[in-house]
Structure 1
Amino acid sequence: MRTLVIGDKRWSSWSMRPWLALRHAGIEFDEHLIRLRRPDSKERIAAVSPSGKVPLLIDGDLTISDSLAICEWAAERVPSLWPSDASARAIARSVSAEMHSSFVAMRTEMSMDVELRTKKELSRDARADVDRVMTIWREARVKWGQDGDFLFGAFSIADCFYAPVVTRFRSYGVTLDDTASRYSEAIFAHPEVRAWCDGVERD
C-alpha cells in the first residue's frame, strides 16, 4: 500500500492539496501524519523524506516529493483530475503552477489555520495577491465553469491547489465577491474538503 506523508491538517496547505487529489480520485493510500511545530518535527520528517519536507508520497520503491508532482502522478492514473478540454487543461495547469510558485505576501500574512477566525488588515502586496486569486477564480468560472461548481466545472487539481486559499480567506475574514463566495461554498461542501477540516488534529 502506498503512503502519503503529511503535516497537520490545521496548518499544512501543501499537504492538503495532494491529499484532496488522491482522495477525490479514489486512489487508496495510508496516511502518515507528522505533527508540525514540535521540537522533533524536523527530525521525524527527515527520517522519511529526502527533501526534509512534507508532503511525500511513497509507493513501493518510488518516492515523490512536492505537492504538484504528487498530483501529476495521480493524474496519470486518473486523467479526470485535469479538465478534458485541452485549452481548459492548459489554463488549469497554469493557474495551479501560479498558486504553487507565487502569492508570497498572502502566504506570509495569511498562513493556513483551518480553525482560526479573525479579521486582519492586509498589506498592499497581500491585498494584490488576494485580488489576483479572485480574478483567477472569476475568469475560470466564466470561461470554463459552466458544467459544475468548481473552477473548470468538475472538481480538478486546480481546485485542490486553491482549496487551502479558500480556508485562508475564511480564517482571516476576507471580503469575497459573488463569484468567490459561491466558489468557496462549493469548496467547503466538497466531501473531501469537509473530511480534511473535520480531521484537524487537536492537542
Structure 2
Amino acid sequence: MYRLHIANKNYSSWSLRPWVLMRQLDIPFEECLTPFESDSNWSSFRTFSPSGLVPCLEDGERVVWESLAIVEYLAERHAGIWPTDDEARAWARCAGSEMHAGFSPLRSLCPMNCGVRVRLHAIPDALAHNLARLDELWQQGLERFGGPFLAGETFTAVDAFFAPVAFRVQSFGLELGAPSIAYVERLLALPAMQQWCQAALDEPWREAGHEAEVQESGTVIEDLRRLS
C-alpha cells in the first residue's frame, strides 16, 4: 500500500492535493502526518522526503516527491486521475500546472488556514489580478467541458490542484463570479474535503509562523478550531 507523508491539515495546501485526489478516487493509502515545527521542518521531513518537503509518496522502496510528480506517478497506475478526453486532459494539465507554478500573491496573502475566517486588510493589485485569472480559468473549464467539475463530469487531478483554493476562498471571503463560487461550494461539499476539514479543525497544533502569516494579511474574525 502507498504511504503518503503530509503535514498539518490546517495549513498544508500542498499535502491536500494528492490526499484529496486519492481519497476521492478511492485509491488506498496509509497517511503519515508529521506536524510543522517552529524553526525548521527540514531535518524531520528529510527522514522520509529527499527534498525535505511534503507531500511525499512511498510506493514500496520507491519514493516520489512533489505534488505534481505524485499525481503523474499515480496517473500511470490508476484510471481517472486525468480526464479521458484528449482535449479536456490537455486543458486540465495546463490549468493544474499553472496553479502548481503560479498564483504567488494568492498563496502568500491568503495562506491556507482551514479553521479561521479572515477580513483582509486590503486587496492589492497583484491579488486582484490572481483572482481575475482564477475566475477566468475556472469559468472557462466549467463552460468548455460542461461541469460540474473543471474538466467535465468527474473529479480529476485538476480539481485536486485547486482544492486548497476552495479553502482559501472560504477562509478569506474572496469574491469571485457566481459560477466560481458554486464550484467552490461543490468542492467543499465533497466527502474527502469535509473529512480533511474536520481533521484540520480537530488538530491540537498551532504553528507560530503560519499563524503570523494570516495576521499579516487580515483580521481573524472567527476561529472554528476545536482547541482555539
TM-score scaled by structure 1?
0.95
Offset at residue 110 of structure 1 (A) = 0.8
1:18/1:160 contact within 8 Å kept: yes
Offset at residue 32 of structure 1 (A) = 0.6
2:55/2:65 contact within 8 Å kept: yes
Write the letter of the residue equivalent to 1:129.
Answer: N
Partner SS state of residue 3, structure 1: strand
Find the aligned partners of 2:123 and 2:52 in 1 and give their Cα distance: 31
Structure 1 residues without counterparts, runs of 5 or longer: none
Partner of 1:49 in structure 2?
Answer: 49
Deviating more after overlay: 102-111 vs 19-28: 19-28
Aligned length: 201
Find the aligned partners of 1:202 and 1:122 in 2 and give their Cα distance: 31
Offset at residue 37 of structure 1 (A) = 3.6
What CA deviation, in whole Å up to 9, does each residue of 1:165-185 have, x standing for no partner? 111111111112111111011
Find the aligned partners of 1:17 and 1:40 in 2 and give their Cα distance: 22
Partner of 2:211 in structure 1?
Answer: none
Partner of 2:136 in structure 1?
Answer: 135
Partner SS state of residue 4, structure 2: strand
What CA deviation, in whole Å up to 9, does each residue of 1:99-135 have, x standing for no partner? 0000111111111111120121221011101111111
Write the letter of the residue equivalent to 2:149.
Answer: F
Find the aligned partners of 1:19 and 1:105 in 2 and give their Cα distance: 24
2:41/2:52 contact within 8 Å kept: no
Write the letter of the residue equivalent to 2:16.
Answer: M
Partner of 2:16 in structure 1?
Answer: 16
Partner of 2:204 in structure 1?
Answer: 202
What CA deviation, in whole Å up to 9, does each residue of 1:28-70 have, x standing for no partner? 1111101014346332111111111000001111100000111
1:22/1:71 contact within 8 Å kept: no
1:34/1:41 contact within 8 Å kept: no
Partner SS state of residue 84, structure 2: coil
Partner of 1:5 in structure 2?
Answer: 5
2:6/2:33 contact within 8 Å kept: yes
Find the aligned partners of 2:76 and 2:198 in 1 and give their Cα distance: 29
Structure 2 residues without counterparts, runs of 5 or longer: 206-228
Partner of 2:216 in structure 1?
Answer: none
% identity of equivalent residues: 35
Q: Which has the higher strand share?
A: 2
Find the aligned partners of 1:194 and 1:40 in 2 and give their Cα distance: 29
Write the letter of the residue equivalent to 1:140.
Answer: G
TM-score scaled by structure 2?
0.85
Find the aligned partners of 2:105 and 2:185 in 1 and give their Cα distance: 25
Write the letter of the residue equivalent to 1:149.
Answer: P
Partner of 1:124 in structure 2?
Answer: 125
What CA deviation, in whole Å up to 9, does each residue of 1:146-177 have, x standing for no partner? 2x421112111010000101111111111121
Aligned residue runs from structure 1 range 52-131, under 5 A: 52-120=52-120, 121-131=122-132
Find the aligned partners of 2:9 and 2:92 in 1 and give their Cα distance: 25
Write the letter of the residue equivalent to 2:164.
Answer: P
Find the aligned partners of 1:106 and 1:61 in 2 and give their Cα distance: 36
Partner of 2:163 in structure 1?
Answer: 163
